[in-house]
Every structure is written in structure tokens, then in C-alpha cells.
Structure 1
């Protein structure tokens, strides 16, 4: 028990923390009968708030109550207490103190508003400001307006933000750096890039913090060209770059995939005294990876003195983004060897690498590890699990992951819709799309690729064009090659090959060989040889792809054996789609040893009978192979899953999930 001089009948038990000698000395010098001078009391409360020492601050509050100094009439002490409880996370206590005050000044309102904002209650800030506006004697200062604008940003309330922007202009407080930064943050977070850039240009005197904040939001929201414009202004005004600036700029270069700019920024940082820490190193690694320079990325990674999970995830992502899936999976073993624990983003890269290889077994292993590590319910992990299972042909497992997810975003829905479409489940894909809209999840460019692919699989022409128009006119998104290729596939599936050919010739898009091959196959299926000959010439002009063959005699022998087994079922080599000028014998030989036949033959030789055979192909599956694999699945009693550039084909008992349209 510590006794204070004066008023001997008033004794207070105060437990002073041993780690606060300065605060203890502050008490020891008090000789005033009222326990402490106003100045020292404010200092003690401020110190408690700044150090978040709630226990000590509450002790001071208790003494103020005992000495009758903590009444609503003591505005300065109450403001200090509001500040204390707000900074220590006790916002409800701060609000009770505020509500009991008879007279409130700007500090009272400002302290509680800042407390609500920092404790994650931006709507309460806006409610308080509306109440404050009803008073006739108070006018908000720059700190209050900065807090209010930041709250609008956190709420995404652009309408109110614009209203308060007008108030800022009338008050002349826009020239205060706090207010300007808050305005920029508000417009950037609400995706009004034009307004954000307008504030940057109209109000002089931007500092490094301002530029860093704007650059981060612009890059984070994908406004890369606007970010370049801000970078130009930053250079023009000779604003000093710090670590934060460099990390954001490397992100900008990565988003633009601008290797030249990335090299310039990298060279600039080497000339300065900025510390090349783990965050900058990781950003550089990510930039080189996204620009396709995997060797540069690895060189930066290998040069790091210390590597954390961010660094490892950056190099793993670099390998994944450049299609080096196996290398990414192998590198993960070295990460484990160094004792670095993966985070949710690491798991996402690993799962998506497994999806790229259709390595369903590896996906199962990583799934188990993610569950064991506590990352099962992270949304980025769930999205990647859907992707790996869907691309591995296990759509049931993908749906289970989807159903178990606590939170979903647009990527989640897109993965499920595309998964259904690529596995030949068009109806399920469209049902998922309707559920997505009902859940008020915004659809985007990728969403409609999956939706149109589903319509193409079902042959629903009217619905396909409806969704194409919805994408363009209702969503304001210009369709791309992927969408138009789905329409070509849709028309071909419906037998409208002439309309498909006309659509391709009249649509202003640069068609690739995949679309023309789709039309070529439709000409064969519907026996339109006149148009087929014209399309074949286009395909040949674009450069025919070589069909890869493994050269092992055993595999070729197994292919011949399988083809012999299916001949009694009516199989005859289909050479009608061979567009090369070959003799009949060579045409037949050409189709007999396509890569999928060789891969399936090898799978039958090596994979246990109870396990499905999975084949990845980066070209469209030809008619002859499709017919042959259906019959092979019947005579061997095997489940064969082939993923080509368009679809998953699940062959079983002589049937294919695509219904012979792909």
C-alpha cells in the first residue's frame, strides 16, 4: 500500500508495475493534497495510453475517482481517459465516458472517433460525425476530417466520402497533409482512381507517404497505367524512395510484366543505401518470375542471406508461373529441409503446381498437410484445392471442398464453374453460376469463360449468345478470345458450321489455331468437306503441330496390341482429318501412334488395374483417338481420363463424358 501526503483519510492502493520506474517517480513527487497536478496526471495517462499499459492507466483512473477529479465536468482528464481506453482496445468504456460528459470539445470527439476507427468500427465514426455536425459551436479540424475520410475508405462509402470532400474544400483544410492523404486513401480504396489522381494533381506538396499509399492501392487494384503516371509525378518532384516504395514498384513491374522497367528499378536500388531486406528481395524475385526470367529470380533468391516463408513462396510462385511445376514441387522439399513452415500462399502455389501436372495424388498429400498445419479453411487454399481436384478429374472432391468452405470469393465460384465445365457437366456449371449470382458474388471475365464453355458443351446457342451479350452490355467487359472460341465451339456443337465460320470471319479478334481446329473437326463430324478443306488450309498455314511419340518399342507394341483388340468392335483408323498430303498407309500409321494412344498404352502397362489412367494433352484430341480410347476403355475395363486443350474426357465402358462433342 502506497500512502499519499495530505488528506490522510484518503488512501489508495496502487499496484505499480516494476517495469515503469519513470511512472513510479512521477507519483513520488506529488505533494498536492488533490494527489496530482493536472499537467502530471495528463502526462501519466498519455504515457499509459502510448505504452498500452491498461493496468497502470486504470490505477490512475481509480485515484481520480477517489479524489473526485474524474467527473464529467473535468473535460481534459476525461479526454485523456477516452484516449487511454481507446488505445487499449476498451472502446465501450471510452464511449461510456464520452456519453457522460456534459461539455465536449473537439478533442473529445476526435479521440473517440480515432478509437472507433483503430478498433475496426468505421461506421460508428460516421455516426459520431453526423451527431457532431448537429452542434452549432464545433467545427471539425484536420484530424477529425482525416479520421472520417479514412472511415469512409474502410466502409467503401464513396457517396459519403465525396460529400465530406466537398466540406474539406469549403473549409480549406485540403492542404493539410493528413487530410490529403486520407482523401487519396478514400478514393483509392473505393476504386475511384480518377478522383484520386485529381487530388494528387490539384493539391501541391505531396510527400513520400502520400505517393506510397496511392501507388500501393493503384497496384493492388490493378490500375497499372495510372500507377505509372503517379510514378512519373514522383520522379518529376524528386520524391525520395524508401523500402516501401521499392516493394510497390517491383509489384508494378510484375503486374505490367515489364522487364525493362524492372531492371531499371533494380539498378536504382543497387545505387542507393536502401537495405536489401527480405521483403525487397522477395519482391524482386516475384518480379523476375512474372516477367519470365526464372534464372534471374533464382539468382536473387540464392543471394539472400536469410530466407523466410515470403521469400520461399516467391521463388516457388516464379517456377509455377513459368510452367515449371515439377521444379516447384521439388524445391518445396528444400524449403522443408531448412525448417521454414509454409503459409497459406505456399500451399496455394503447391496445389496449383499439382493441378498443372494433374497430379491428383500429390494434391491429396498437400491437402492432408494443409489440414494438419491448420490452413484448411483459408480461402486461397480452398480455391487451390478445388482447382487441383477439378483438373485431376475428381469433380466430386472439388465439390466437397467447395461445400465445406466457410468463406467464398469470385475465384472460388469461378474454379467450381470451370471445373464443372471442363469435366463435361454443363448443367451443374450453369446451376453454380446462378447460385453465384444469388449469393451476390460479382462475376468477372473468367466467370463467363466457364459459363460459355458450359453452354458450348450443352449446345445451347440462345443461352450462349445471351451470356455473351450480358458480359458486354450489362457487365461492361469486352469479350476476349476465350469467350469467342467458346461461341465457335457452341455453334459447331449445334451443327451450325457455316454460321461458326461466318462468326469467325466477322468477329474482330485474332483467332488462334485452337479455334480453327475446332471448326475443322466440326466440318468432319457434320461431313461439310467443302468448308473443311478451306479451314484445313488455314490450319496448315498457321503451322501444323508435330505429334510427339515416345520411341520405346514396347509401348508401340502395346499400341498395336490394343488396336488389334478393338478391331472386332468395329474400329477402323479414321484418316479423314489428316490434312497432310500422305499416302494411305502413312495416314493410317500417323493416326495410330498419336501421343495419347502411346501414353494410354504406357499407363496400361505400368498403372495397377484398379487405378484410373490420367493423360494430359496440350492439343485438341482427334476423332480417331477419341473413338479408339472409348473402345480401349471397354476391352481393358479401365477408367481413362484425358485432359485436352478443351475438355476433360472420362472414358469408361466404351463411353465418354463429353458425349462425343468437344
Structure 2
């Protein structure tokens, strides 16, 4: 501990030096010459020497000005007598400072070193852990406070502990805290009641929340706001709407929080009409439309698909803070404007507004939408520097970003390094492994999830069933669907039954898959039928494929993918007359096949390639490189799959068509421009063709490179002549 204190004190002294010589330093400060290094000393008070340190520390904490706080801390250290500790008031102020400035480890060291602590000391540290989302630390401190230090909690402690239970879904601990509240007689404090209502609502204990709510006066708007928010956070929309009806009937007036809550309801329901009505009603009141209320409107319009409305509200703000900036970023992200969302970061930083954990989450998920790995890496570095990496929402976004950008190992590294995980974390990792064809790893994570006591949800089982499909685990898949899901209390939905169709199809049980779809009382969508159609193509079951294609075309007469897949099957069967019929039908319906496009990011530039591309400034060198690669893999047995060419032309011409598909061009260029040990990541807008799949497997072998291709269906990791999809996609 002494070494730690010396280190901290010395690190703070340079802050004092800066403060003494800064143009903004206070002229009344007097700095003693006898520097001492103890960390928690009682300061020698020199009247008029410095503004009240406690006031300065409060100001630093409220504004999160860590530099100012460290400067005051340094002053307290060097103006102290070595034999005396800081008094409890200064120590508490320092704990509050470091906790609010996201330096919880430093705050904890200060706390542990205090010779005597009071309720304020415990509350400040608990609040710091609550801010970081570390619920178990808050609950542990609370238990130690009442059982070891024998201190009586006050209303602030209870509000903090109950908020921690709300955020982590720990209703049993929340009930115990409720008992403490009743014994202590602190239920009369309104914000304790509100915290109880919110805790029960957040933990899906609707009846308990209503019992507490019924003890509140009818005109108390805060409790109503709290219970509605809690219900909405956990999907109890009907109950939330019932409470809103009560608010209309009983409450005298709505406040800002009420309008924020109602806009939240509109956002959750994506009810634009209701949102417009509420906005209109708000304009008729004298309520000040502050930045938080405006941010709620921005969020509502964003979730309702009205980005221009959201932008109009944002631009109308006189002052914009991190909440409003994050809200408009989220509005862009939710509507697929990923580049626009990322572009707002530089504008925000130009206004000297720093991102918080929610901002980083939106930005990282935008990178995931673009598969912009380099931008994601840069944001990850900023997260580390900013101290937000331990926030679950940021960790979840990092796992999602790396998974969708093709770096599943980095996603797993982030996952393993996370200090706290929720269901979203586990789902992101399970789905990430499944999407990359790593079914065994996905099921291992699922087992770890169960052992950790985290309750799976419907999204979890989509990833699990997808993993079973990749591994061909038919019996296990049906066990998860028919037994485990029901044991947990999850009713299988369309997406789970679609996974079963994929499972049977991948296992080659196409007749069973069709029977499953024809007999199950499920309203199938086009995704499930298309999954079976794709299996018919892979397993060359053209008779069934024709029947399935007819169903898909009936559901979507303009689905270009179905016509293309059906044409592919006829071409492989050398039924050129049927290929001609399909193409004629497509012309009559004015359906055009989307051209194959691939792109690869090298350094700061994204290079886009179209099949048989001659536009790229280095196209001649790229074509030469493709020829070189094809010559090498032919020595390993590569034979161009000319059956994949949908034209009735000579075989030599068919081979030329295949040679310069967009993914081959992108891979060749990446091999030319990247270090020999670097993985290559290519994104393609369509399903990778059979010939390119076979070729890239061998290219990965002759070049000894990891080549990752993200096509319209999944990720393919090519390495040493093999693909993670096991040749099924």
C-alpha cells in the first residue's frame, strides 16, 4: 500500500506544478515547500490559502474534471502533516470524485485505507460501482456495510442498491432490500418508493410494482413515470399502456419525464401517429423542451423511420449534449445510415463533446453494419483510452462488430476479457460463432452460459439451433427445440422452426424437411422456403427444388434470388431449354439479376470489384495475378466448374467467365497489396458461386493465407484448403 501511495502522490505532483503555473490558477494559492507523499492525510488549513477543497472537489466531480480534482488532491497531500490522515469529509469528497470520473479502483483504494468510514463513504463508492454496471460489487458493499460496520443505511444507500438490483434483474436481493426499507421506516422518502417501483418493474414483478405504486398519492407523477419505464424496459407494453391510462385519469399534470416516458412508448411500439399527436400536444404546453426531452423525440422519430424529423428536432436544439448527439447517431444507425452515423463523431468532437459508452455502442454497431473493421479497430482503441471497455453495452458492441467484420478471434478475445456479461453478450458470441460456421465453439459457449446461471432467451436458441445445423446434430437440435426450450419456458417461434428446416436440409434429409414444413402448424415465410430451395441446389435435388421454387415464386413473384437459383439448377442439369424459359420470364417481369460485387479494405481505402472488371487502375496486374493463382491451383487438381456458367456457350468461354468473378479479383488484389502473414477479408453482395468456393479453398493453401469471405449467406473462413462452412452454404 505504501508503494501505491507514493506512486499516486508523485503522479499528482505534476498536476500541482501545472496548476501553479497555469494562467487559470488561482492567485491566492500558497504551496508549502515541504512536500510529503502520504495519500490520505489531514490537510493543514491555511485560512485564505485555497478555496474550500471540498467545494472544489464537488465541482470537479460534478463536471468530471479529473485534472482539477487531482490538483486539489495534490494540494491536500503536500499541505498535510505526515502523522495525520485526511479527515473523513475530504476523503469522502475524493472517493466521490474518483468514482464519478470512472476511476473506481483509485476510489476503492482510498476507501479501504480510511481509518474510519461513515454512510457517505459507502454511498459514494456504491454509486461508482453502480455507474460502471457492477451490481455484485454494490450488493457486496451493502452487505458488508450492514453486517461488518454495523451502519444503518439511509435513503441514498437504499436508492443506490435498489437501482443496482434493477439493472441486474436481481429481484430476490431487491426484496431483501425492500424488507430493510420497511424496518428502517424510510419508505416515506419518495425516491426510495420510486426506486422500489422501478426495481420490481424492471424485474418483471408487475404485481409487486403495482402494490408499491398504490401506496403513492394519486398526483405523484414520478412514481408513475418510474413504473412505466420499468415495464417498457422489459417488454410489458400492455401493462405500461394501462398505467398511462391511469396517469391520464388521475394525475393533475404531466412533466418532462412523463413526456419522455410517453415518447419512449411510441418508440417501443413504433407508433408514429401517436408520437406526432404527443409532440403536437407538447407544443401547446409551457413545458421547457430541454435537451433530454428533445433526445426522446429524436429517438422516437428514429425508431419510427423518420430520420428527417429526428434531424429537424436535433438541429432545433440551442444546446446539444452527448445525449442528443447519441440519439441522432442512433436514429441514423437504426435506419441503415451507417456512414452518416460514423460521420457525426468528428462533428461532435469538434464541439468538444466526448463520447460516452452509449455513443461508442452505436458507433461500433454502425461499423458492424458496414463491415468496417479498420474503423472498428480505431474505435476500440478509443474505448480503451476512454475507460469504457468494462461497460457491458460497449463490450457487447465490440463482440458484435468483430463478429460481423469477420474477425471472430478478436470477438472471442473481447468476450473472454469482459468483466460483466448479460444475455446479449452470450447471444452475440454464440451467434457469432454460428455465423462463422464454428458450431462446436458456439455450443461450448452455450454450455458456459448455462453453467454461469444466465437464462437463455429466444435469440440464444436461434444461435444454438444454427450451430446444430452446421454440425449436423439432428437429434440434439430437436432436443433443444422440444425439451430444453419448454423447460426454460420459451415457446418456439418461426425463426426456431426455420432453423430446424435448415438442420434437416443440411443433413440431406430434404423429404423430412419438406414434410416438416407441410405438417407443422407454422405460418412459414419466404426465408424458410428459400432455405429448403438452397438445400435442393446443394444436394442436386432438382425435382423437389422445382416444387419449392414454385412456392417461393407464389410468395414473392419478383424474388430475383429464386429465379437465379432455379436457373442455376437447370444449368447444372444441362436443361438449357429451361434456363432460356427462366431468363425469358425474368425479362417479361423486368427482373434483373444483381451483378456480383466484392470489396476489400486495404489501409484506408475500400476497393470495389465487379465481375470481369477492367475499371480498376491496376486491372491488368490484377488479371495477371488471377491467372497466376489459377495456374498454381490447377496443379493441385482444380478444374473450373463450367456447369456454374448460366450460358450455353463453348467450354473455353465458360472458363473465361469464371476466371474473373469479383471475389477472385478482390482476393488477388489483396494478395498483391497486403503483408504475407495478414488475413484477407472480402465482402460479397451475392452467394459465392461453387467454382469460386472451390478455387479460394486451394488459393488459401498455395498462398498459406487465411481468407475470409462474407457472402449473402454466411462467413467462409478458407484456410489450408478447407472452408469453415464444410462446403454447405
Question: What is the SS of the residue equivalent to 1:614?
Answer: strand
8 Å CA contact 2:530, 2:552 repeated in 1: yes
Q: How does 1:607-618 map to 2 (within 5 A)?
A: 608-610=672-674, 612-617=679-684
Q: How does 1:130-279 map to 2 (within 5 A)?
A: 156-157=170-171, 161=175, 184-185=197-198, 187-197=200-210, 205-279=218-292
Deviation at 1:411, TM superposition (A): 1.5
Unaligned 5+ segments in structure 1 are 1-14, 21-52, 57-84, 92-117, 133-142
Q: Deviation per CA, 1:49-85, whole angstroms, max 9, x where unpaired?
A: xxxx9869xxxxxxxxxxxxxxxxxxxxxxxxxxxx9
- Residue in 2 that maps onto 1:407: 420
Greater gyration radius: 1
* Aligned alpha-carbon RMSD (Å): 4.7
Once residues 164 and 469 of structure 1 are traced to their aligned partners in structure 2, the CA distance between those partners, rounded to angstroms, is 39
Q: Deviation per CA, 1:466-505, whole angstroms, max 9, x where unpaired?
A: 1112454112222223222221111111111011111122
Deviation at 1:658, TM superposition (A): 0.7
Deviation at 1:630, TM superposition (A): 3.8
Of 642, 647, 653, the match for 1:573: 642
- Residue in 2 that maps onto 1:318: 331
Unaligned 5+ segments in structure 2 are 1-44, 53-86, 91-116, 124-137, 561-591, 598-608
- Residue in 1 that maps onto 2:530: 517
8 Å CA contact 2:697, 2:720 repeated in 1: yes
- Residue in 1 that maps onto 2:468: 455
Question: What is the SS of the residue equivalent to 1:574?
Answer: helix
Of 458, 471, 476, the match for 1:445: 458
Q: Judging changes above 3 Å, is the alpha-carbon distance between structure 1 residues 246 and 569 closer, same or farther for their aligned structure 2 residues?
A: same
- Residue in 1 that maps onto 2:662: 598
Q: Deviation per CA, 1:22-54, whole angstroms, max 9, x where unpaired?
A: xxxxxxxxxxxxxxxxxxxxxxxxxxxxxxx98
Of 559, 570, 573, the match for 1:544: 559
Q: How does 1:33-432 map to 2 (within 5 A)?
A: 88-89=120-121, 156-157=170-171, 161=175, 184-185=197-198, 187-197=200-210, 205-432=218-445
- Residue in 2 that maps onto 1:555: 613
Q: Judging changes above 3 Å, is the alpha-carbon distance between structure 1 residues 594 and 464 closer, same or farther for their aligned structure 2 residues?
A: farther
- Residue in 2 that maps onto 1:8: none
Once residues 460 and 200 of structure 1 are traced to their aligned partners in structure 2, the CA distance between those partners, rounded to angstroms, is 49
How many residues end up aligned between the 2 structures? 551
Q: Judging changes above 3 Å, is the alpha-carbon distance between structure 1 residues 147 and 188 closer, same or farther for their aligned structure 2 residues?
A: farther
8 Å CA contact 1:289, 1:317 repeated in 2: yes
Q: Judging changes above 3 Å, is the alpha-carbon distance between structure 1 residues 184 and 456 closer, same or farther for their aligned structure 2 residues?
A: same
Q: Judging changes above 3 Å, is the alpha-carbon distance between structure 1 residues 456 and 325 closer, same or farther for their aligned structure 2 residues?
A: same
Q: Judging changes above 3 Å, is the alpha-carbon distance between structure 1 residues 500 and 630 closer, same or farther for their aligned structure 2 residues?
A: same
Q: Judging changes above 3 Å, is the alpha-carbon distance between structure 1 residues 226 and 294 closer, same or farther for their aligned structure 2 residues?
A: same
Range moving further from structure 2, 594-603 or 584-593: 584-593
Question: What is the SS of the residue equivalent to 2:320?
Answer: coil
Deviation at 1:453, TM superposition (A): 1.0
| Superposition TM-score, scaled by structure 2 size | 0.65
Q: Judging changes above 3 Å, is the alpha-carbon distance between structure 1 residues 220 and 125 closer, same or farther for their aligned structure 2 residues?
A: farther
Once residues 339 and 478 of structure 1 are traced to their aligned partners in structure 2, the CA distance between those partners, rounded to angstroms, is 48
- Residue in 1 that maps onto 2:569: none
Structure 2 residue 707 is the aligned partner of structure 1 residue 651: no
- Residue in 1 that maps onto 2:447: 434
Q: Judging changes above 3 Å, is the alpha-carbon distance between structure 1 residues 650 and 443 closer, same or farther for their aligned structure 2 residues?
A: same
Once residues 497 and 652 of structure 2 are traced to their aligned partners in structure 1, the CA distance between those partners, rounded to angstroms, is 33
Deviation at 1:417, TM superposition (A): 1.2
- Residue in 2 that maps onto 1:660: 727
Question: What is the SS of the residue equivalent to 1:584?
Answer: coil
Deviation at 1:654, TM superposition (A): 4.2
Range moving further from structure 2, 624-633 or 448-457: 624-633
Deviation at 1:544, TM superposition (A): 2.1
Q: Judging changes above 3 Å, is the alpha-carbon distance between structure 1 residues 153 and 123 closer, same or farther for their aligned structure 2 residues?
A: farther
Q: Judging changes above 3 Å, is the alpha-carbon distance between structure 1 residues 408 and 623 closer, same or farther for their aligned structure 2 residues?
A: same
8 Å CA contact 1:149, 1:161 repeated in 2: no
Q: Deviation per CA, 1:504-548, whole angstroms, max 9, x where unpaired?
A: 222333433332222122223333222111012123332322532
Q: How does 1:22-33 map to 2 (within 5 A)?
A: none
